[in-house]
Amino acid sequence: MKKKTLIIKRYCPGKNSANPLKHFDGKCHGPLPWERGWSEALQAGRIFHIFSWTTIIIKTFLLLSFALGLMLFMGCKNHNKNKVGAATETEEIYSCSMHPQIIEHAPGRCPICGMTLVKKENAAREISKVDLSTLLEPVNNTVLSSVPVTSVKFEKQQLRLNALGTVEYDTRFMKTISARVSGRINKLYIKYRFQPVRAGEKIMELYSPELLTAQQNLLFLIKNDPENKPLIDAAKQRLLLLGMHESDLQRMITNGNAQPNVTVYSNYTGHIHEAGQKGYSPEPVSFPTETPELTVKEGMYIDRGQPVFQVNNMDHVWISLNLFPGDNSLVKVGTPVTIITETEPGKKIKGKINFIEPFYRDNSKTVTARVYLDNSALMIPVGSQVTATVDVNSTSGNWLPESAVLSLGLDKVVFLKEGKVFKVKPVTTGITANNLIQITAGLNAKDSVAANAQFLVDSEGFIKVKK
């Protein structure tokens, strides 16, 4: 059986077609659909038409959704921005000029000093609208920042100065034991430095030909001319002046024999120091790791008038307080002082300034003030460190927090706020007390300066001061 062949003419359906297809897009889509027959062609056209409109609808829906979401996002962003900006602009911060760490959100008084809190700009606000000329300012004297600011305040301050000091011997009570006659030390009762001694104790036994001759002369007068009282009394007085003790003199007269060795006694109470050692030293007293030996030995010869020992009395000491030159003008003789020693930190000792030295000690640029103390009951070791609080009179002036002033050695500067930047401003300062520093020149009450000057200085930066 032969297969039938179907011949189909390929053409584009149009006006000449007996049953023209409706043009759903105005174009001819080729003969392929008609090769499957008219019904299949019509079905394919409808399917293509349906998919085309579905694609348009989906794209339109997605575009509208994207536009709506973008509008909602921009609206929320602007709302949050306005909300943050409004909060930033309406938030009020109040701080104390003398104590910048006190921050309040309502007017009031400082809980530390009682001053009225000052309204200041919000430090959290961003710096904006800064022109190029501001950014091009030299960095060694201009800083762009939004740190807290403060201003000088004129008030009366009750000042208390803190000072460090050292316990030293009171040189007014230092005594010296000297040789009254020449001779040889046959026996020495003092064996080491700082050995305690009391008045009336033996120091050494001395052989002196001069003392031996004076004793023999007295015994000769008593034996041969006992009625000559003036001459005998003169001989006794000579022996006493040469250093012979009265008890030894009476024993010698009673025995009738001259003593070759005469005992020398101490007339003072204290600690033995080598003769010639400085009892006063500008430097703090330092003690060796071991007690050094005496240079005075048994068998040594001494000359008349030679200092042999020095006796320092520990019952009387003074405290040398170091005062800075700026504080020297505030401290006067009689100013009360409260002292705390390192040996008894919990005990406060009351005293007063008794003397102010009119010179600088070696290798020091502080003025030394002395406080005399009776150390018989306190027994404070010489050389120990003390801290003192000096109560000076109240002083009026312009004051800034000490942290607002930067020291450059000989110069003092602050960071003065000018618009949105801080510029270096030299100032003249006075005394420093109670974490405050006195401003004598360079600022007025309307100037605002950075509360913490160190915060604006780079670790390797140098602040240039215009002279």
Distance separating alpha carbons of residues 450 and 439, to the nearest angstrom: 15
Q: What is the pLDDT of residue 126?
A: 46
- At 271-326, the pLDDT tens digits run 888 764 444 343 444 455 566 678 888 999 999 988 899 898 888 999 999 988 77
Q: How confident is the model at residue 41 (pLDDT cuts 50, 70, 90)?
A: very low
Q: What is the pLDDT of residue 301?
A: 92
Q: How confident is the model at residue 188 (pLDDT cuts 50, 70, 90)?
A: very high
Cα 396 off chain centre by = 25
Q: Is 457 exposed, middle or buried (0-12, 13-18, 19+ CB in 10 A)?
A: middle
Question: In terms of Cα–Cα distance, which of 253, 285, 291 is closest to 272?
Answer: 291
- Strands 367-374 and 355-360 turn out to be antiparallel
Q: Which residue has the higher pLDDT, 255 or 365?
A: 255
Which amino acid, residue 203? I
Q: What is the pLDDT of residue 285?
A: 44
Q: What is the pLDDT of residue 3?
A: 46
Query: Mean pLDDT of all residues in the chain?
Result: 76
Q: What is the pLDDT of residue 38?
A: 44
Question: In terms of Cα–Cα distance, which of 205, 167, 190 is closest to 339?
Answer: 167
Q: How confident is the model at residue 330 (pLDDT cuts 50, 70, 90)?
A: confident
pTM: 0.55
Q: Which residue has the higher pLDDT, 445 or 25?
A: 445
Q: What is the pLDDT of residue 371?
A: 94
Q: How many residues does the chain have?
A: 467
Which amino acid, residue 192? Y
Cα 74 off chain centre by = 53
Q: What is the mean pLDDT of residues 49-57?
A: 61
Look up residue 278 and give its two tokens.
């400085």
Residues 6+ apart with CB under 8 A from 318: 167, 168, 169, 170, 354, 370, 371, 372, 373
Question: In terms of Cα–Cα distance, which of 178, 208, 205, 192 is closest to 268?
Answer: 178
